[in-house]
Structure 1
Amino acid sequence: MKDIPVHQLQDRVSSGLEIRHFVPHEKLGKGEDLGAHRDDHYIFFVMEDGIASLMIDFDELHLQKSSLYYILPGQVHHRIRATEADGWFVAVDTLLIPPDYRDVFENQLLLQQPFYLDERQLNQCCSLLGLIDEKHNQDEPTPFNISIVHSLLQSFLGIAAAGFVCLSSSRSSLSRPAQLSHQFKKLLVQKVRTLKSPSAYASQLNVSESYLNESLKKVTGFSVSYWVQNEVILEAKRLLYYSQMNVKEIAHVLGYEDHAYFSRLFKKATNITPLSFRANYRK
């Protein structure tokens, strides 16, 4: 293996969401024993009962009954033990996570710990996830089905974000590269429409471009350029999904005068044209 593999959610689903309920002693399906890898999306676990163990960026994590946990895009992870676990697995395209929720999740950078749900919270989460699963996988989708699924998902993400606000850790306990990575990603969300070059972000953060790149690679495994493109494509997806702007207008809003170049950039990153993406997500 030349590098740590990166798994893309779009290779498995077109709705931006993958959800399943797992039970104790469940046999892995073909291709599910993935080994150490990164994902380009968020993963959430809700443990109803039992125990499970994961390795997250060299730290072994133990999940117990009534716990909620998530894995950030880019974090290296693999399953150690899950044969006694009973709960939910939810993979979510970053597009579907509102910026204020993302800020909560990414504030926990390198330090996220399981959030333990009380009985009421656990019941709420499991009821929501059960309904999401039912609507997402029903044989004959109803009108607005994907929109309904995404709306229900927002409720679950809100509960998760509200819980993790309580677990915010002191920024001083983070390493300098981790602090800088968080500052960069927060700045990126704010400036992605106007700033595209790594040197511009380094200047805004008062560090050298090489040090910023080194820090990002150490913490996330990816370069500054990767995260800039990733955020551009994410913002493009948001505009394609939520707005009525055409592709030319979206390209200009994102700082690209040549909309044909923007369309090629989008297709190269996603393997799908902007209009095809819009059509798939608005089914």
Structure 2
Amino acid sequence: MKDIPVHQLKKRGNVGLEIWRYYAGDIRPNSDEKGVMKAHRDDHYIFFVVDAGDAALMIDFDEVTFFPNALYYILPGQVHKGISDERAAGWFLAVDTMLVPPDCRKVFEGQLVLQKPHMLDDMQMKQCMDLLSLLYQRFLDYEKSTFNVSVVHSLLQSFIGIAAGCYAGVNNTAIQVSRPVELSQMFKQLLVDNYVAIKSPSVYAGMLNVSESYLNEALKKTTGLSVSYWILNEVMLEAKRLLYYSEQNVKGIAHVLGYDDHAYFSRLFKKAEGITPLTFRATYRK
């Protein structure tokens, strides 16, 4: 392939998530004739809960194996492909990054080693399976009730909180990461805390004591995308959160995000998301 494909969640729905129950032998989207997932990146989070069988994925050149009761996540930008995922059964959940709370993102993105599957105990496993089953049912019916999208997102937040709690404090040193991966993670942590005030790639590079070109090279190597992309992406994530969760108008949201010219902010949002801020709000709140 000429470029590693990037799968975009917004092309598959408008509620910020996708969920399905999979079984051994299923042929799933973006897989070959044997049902094995092709190498790609996602612009969103992926969560798996395995309850039967076994599976293996290649995540950024490291093989990760799953067994029953395993919880796992894949970060936006990580290159992954299936090796033997057709033997497993469980839940698949794709989540727009805007729906992952910042404190949870710090847990998921703060690992300085490649994340490993977390083994759930029997009670945790039952809680996750029950919660995901309910989430799936409400997801299928989200258009049937005025408040169902809010219910779906609330159930999703509960699952993400459980997952983040499982990984919080984990200090896994089994798989060491490269300097570009470490630098990318440090940049993302800085970005989460500073994107409103700082939107210049060169300033972030200075904060990390590297050149702008080296930081850009590291980000492109580990995520396939530039420093500028990730800065804009973080701004757009917060813009979408504010449009969905708050009652502020577009001018107020632009000001909160550091833009004095709300018309410029609206153009920036439309260019990045393909729709205007108000259309986004109406779509997500329907």
TM-score bucket (shorter structure):
over 0.9
CA distance in 2, matches of 1:12, 1:243: 25
1:43-99 CA-to-partner distances (Å, cap 9, x unmatched) read 000001101111111112111111000100000111122222110000000001001
Residue 186 of structure 1 is matched in structure 2 by 189
SS in 1 for 2:83: strand
SS in 2 for 1:186: helix
CA distance in 2, matches of 1:161, 1:279: 30
Question: How far off its partner does 1:192 sit?
Answer: 0.6
Pair 1:275 & 2:278 matched = yes
1:204-225 CA-to-partner distances (Å, cap 9, x unmatched) read 2222111211222222222111
Question: How far off its partner does 1:263 sit?
Answer: 1.2
Residue 5 of structure 1 is matched in structure 2 by 5
Q: 1:177 to 1:32 in 2, by over 3 A?
A: closer
Residue 229 of structure 2 is matched in structure 1 by 226
Q: Is the 8 A contact 2:142 2:149 kept in 1?
A: no
Residue 28 of structure 2 is matched in structure 1 by 28
Matched letter for residue 27 of structure 2? K
Aligned length: 282
Alignment of 1:149-168 (within 5 A): 149-168=152-171
Q: 1:178 to 1:278 in 2, by over 3 A?
A: same
Matched letter for residue 17 of structure 1? L
Q: Which runs of 5+ in 1 are unaligned?
A: none
Q: Is the 8 A contact 1:16 1:93 kept in 2?
A: yes
SS in 2 for 1:83: helix
Q: 1:76 to 1:140 in 2, by over 3 A?
A: closer
CA distance in 1, matches of 2:240, 2:9: 14
73-82 or 136-145: bigger deviation: 136-145
SS in 1 for 2:116: coil
TM superposition score normalised by structure 1: 0.94
Matched letter for residue 152 of structure 1? L
CA distance in 2, matches of 1:103, 1:139: 29
Pair 1:127 & 2:130 matched = yes
1:180-213 CA-to-partner distances (Å, cap 9, x unmatched) read 2122111111111111110111122222111211
1:143-190 CA-to-partner distances (Å, cap 9, x unmatched) read 310111111111111111111124233599443322221221111111
Residue 203 of structure 1 is matched in structure 2 by 206
Matched letter for residue 193 of structure 2? Q
Question: How far off its partner does 1:111 sit?
Answer: 1.1
Alignment of 1:73-112 (within 5 A): 73-112=76-115
CA distance in 1, matches of 2:43, 2:142: 28
CA distance in 2, matches of 1:282, 1:142: 11
Pair 1:214 & 2:217 matched = yes
Q: 1:109 to 1:45 in 2, by over 3 A?
A: farther
Q: Is the 8 A contact 1:171 1:179 kept in 2?
A: no
Matched letter for residue 201 of structure 2? P
Question: How far off its partner does 1:241 sit?
Answer: 1.0
Pair 1:253 & 2:256 matched = yes
109-118 or 84-93: bigger deviation: 109-118
Cα RMSD, aligned residues only: 1.8
Alignment of 1:128-147 (within 5 A): 128-138=131-141, 141-147=144-150
SS in 1 for 2:92: strand
TM superposition score normalised by structure 2: 0.93
Q: Which runs of 5+ in 2 are unaligned?
A: none
